[in-house]
A and B are shown apart, each in its own frame.
Chain A
Amino acid sequence: RKEVEQDPGPFNVPEGATVAFNCTYSNSASQSFFWYRQDCRKEPKLLMSVYSSGNEDGRFTAQLNRASQYISLLIRDSKLSDSATYLCVATYNNNDMRFGAGTRLTVKP
């Protein structure tokens, strides 16, 4: 089993839609979780950290469910500029960071 697994996608949604991505992690001892955004042929960039109580940043909401070992990302009111690949990250042994395969989102006019 991979350390971090994500919805395979791709997701194609119209502007203004709400879209949710899920991700599961294998190590119950994982402590830190993040969502990254990666544009085509660019490096990943931090979108938001994921906190135990859930957290929101504008149109983006992240949730953590430790019992089921999954994290989620909700994007409300999708914009064309949200089109990208979204990567979830969890710490693994010794605090190294493991990435999911990524979920590609395309927002269409």
Chain B
Amino acid sequence: GAGVSQTPSNKVTEKGKYVELRCDPISGHTALYWYRQSLGQGPEFLIYFQGTGAADDSGLPNDRFFAVRPEGSVSTLKIQRTERGDSAVYLCASNERPGSPLHFGNGTRLTVT
């Protein structure tokens, strides 16, 4: 079946612009996670949704970052006033139930110039 889908695969934007990154999880997976990964580092936790609500958003670095999952399926990560330090690969993952393995999308490579 279809895996986790992330769009776009690459995004180049100028400093100060607004970007939206989309994640479509595996059908039926109730939990959805966003991570950010910089070169040579492990995935850094940003936010975790259980259904429509954010169960834990403690990883969002500041108030420029926001994520929604209005219908409990597709999620959008929104970054306002982008900074060069936001450049990274943004990974989305979903799992069938709490504690089960995560399935990752291919990621969105964000470059802020």
Residues on A lying within 8 angstroms of B by beta carbon are 4, 6, 31-32, 34, 42-46, 49, 87, 89, 91-102
Measured in the bound complex, the distance between the Cα atoms of B45 and A87 in whole Å is 14
B56 and A99 contact, CB distance less than 8 A: no
B101 and A87 contact, CB distance less than 8 A: no
Mark each residue of chain B from 88 to 100: 1 if its CB lies under 8 Å from any CB of chain A, else 0.
Answer: 0001010000111
16 contacts between A and B (CB under 8 A): A31-B99, A32-B100, A34-B102, A44-B91, A46-B101, A49-B101, A87-B43, A93-B56, A94-B50, A94-B56, A96-B45, A97-B45, A97-B102, A99-B42, A100-B42, A101-B41
B87 within 8 A of A: no
Select which of A43, A93, A96, A100 is within 8 A of B91 by beta carbon.
Answer: A43
Q: Which residues of chain B are near A96, meaning CB under 8 Å?
A: 33, 45, 48, 55-56
B104 and A45 contact, CB distance less than 8 A: yes
Among A49, A89, A95, chain B packs the most CB atoms within 10 A around the CB of A95
Given A94-B48, A96-B48, A96-B56, A32-B42 contact (CB < 8 Å): no
Closest residue of chain B to A45 (Cβ to Cβ) is: B104
